[in-house]
Amino acid sequence: MAWIWEKKCRTGTEKFLVTIGLVFLGMNFEWGLTSQNEGNVCAQADTKPQIQWEHLAKDLALPAVNARVDRVWHGIPGLNGWQLNVPLSQQATQRAQDGYLHLVWNKVMPAVPLSQLPKEPIYRGPEAERSAALMFNVSWGEEYVPGILHILRETGVKATFFVDGRWVEKHPDLAREMAQMGHAIGSHGSGHPDFRRLRETQLRQQVMDTNQVIRDVIGVRPILLAPPAGSFDERTLHQAAAAGMYTILWSVDSIDWRRPPAEQVVQRITKQVHPGALILMHPTGPTVQALPRLIRELADKGYHLKTVEQVVLEQRAARPPMRLSALS
| DSSP states of 104-172 | -EEEE--SS-GGGS----B-B--TTS-EEEEEEEESS-TTTHHHHHHHHHHHT---EEEE-HHHHHH-H
Q: Tell me the mean pLDDT in the region 44-64.
A: 76
Predicted confidence band at 264 (pLDDT cuts at 50, 70, 90)?
A: very high
Predicted confidence band at 151 (pLDDT cuts at 50, 70, 90)?
A: very high
Query: Among 266, 241, 237, which residue's Cα sits nearest to residue 254?
Result: 266
Predicted confidence band at 190 (pLDDT cuts at 50, 70, 90)?
A: very high
pLDDT reported for residue 50: 64
Q: What whole-number distance in Å separates Cα of residue 276 and Cα of residue 225?
A: 18
Q: Taking all residues of the chain, what is their mean pLDDT, rounded to a whole number?
A: 87
Q: Enumerate the domain spans of the chain.
A: 4-115, 119-312
Q: Tell me the mean pLDDT in the region 151-163.
A: 98
Q: Say what percent of the chain tops pLDDT 70.
A: 84
**Domain 119-312: which CATH number of 3.40.30.10, 3.40.50.720, 3.30.70.1150, 3.20.20.370:** 3.20.20.370
pLDDT reported for residue 14: 37
- Residue 246, H or E segment: strand 246-247
| DSSP states of 60-114 | H-B--B--EEETTTEEE--B-EEEE-HHHHHHHHHHH-SSEEE--EEEE--SS-G
- Residue 214, H or E segment: helix 200-217
pLDDT at 58 over 60: yes
pLDDT at 23 over 70: no
Q: What whole-number distance in Å separates Cα of residue 259 and Cα of residue 281?
A: 11
Q: Tell me the mean pLDDT in the region 218-231.
A: 97
Whether the Cβ atoms of residue 251 and residue 124 lie closer than 8 Å to each other: yes
pLDDT at 16 over 90: no
Q: Tell me the mean pLDDT in the region 100-126.
A: 96
Helices and strands, number each (H, E), in the chain: 10, 19
Q: What whole-number distance in Å separates Cα of residue 269 and Cα of residue 254?
A: 6
